Amino acid sequence: SQQGEEDPQALSIQEGENATMNCSYKTSINNLQWYRQNSGRGLVHLILIRSNEREKHSGRLRVTLDTSKKSSSLLITASRAADTASYFCATVMNSGYSTLTFGKGTMLLVSP
């Protein structure tokens, strides 16, 4: 079963604009990860944020985590056409193994 819900389901923006995607989840977690999927490169890990972290940056990516609201956001700044892809959040729970529980994803379209 899916752990989380991404919002919005689809997002269409112009190159240079910022894109924000949100993710909500249901259970307590060890960490939350964001992945990108496109037909060319498959599913690729973008960034991991631990449950005791509130914000993390990697290049043009900024991720926030609010464990009290069980939500996370991914911000892509200065978007490029090459950012066009589906973006998934995935959680790892404290108990059990490092199995990823994915949301349904946000489809991002960046137009030149």
Binding residues for other proteins (CB under 8 A): 1-2, 30-31, 33, 35, 42-45, 48, 50, 88, 90, 92, 94, 96-105
Cβ-Cβ contacts under 8 Å for 60 (sequence gap 6 or more)? 76, 77, 78, 79
| Least distance to other proteins, CB of residue 18, Å | 23
For other proteins, which is the closer residue by CB, 27 or 112? Answer: 27
For other proteins, which is the closer residue by CB, 41 or 112? Answer: 41
- 8 A C-beta contact, residue 17 and residue 76: no
The terminus-to-terminus CA distance of the chain in angstroms comes to 36
| Least distance to other proteins, CB of residue 64, Å | 18
CA 3 to chain centroid, in Å, comes to: 13
CA 18 to chain centroid, in Å, comes to: 14
| Least distance to other proteins, CB of residue 76, Å | 18
For other proteins, which is the closer residue by CB, 39 or 112? Answer: 39
The tokens for 94 are 């404290």
For other proteins, which is the closer residue by CB, 92 or 110? Answer: 92
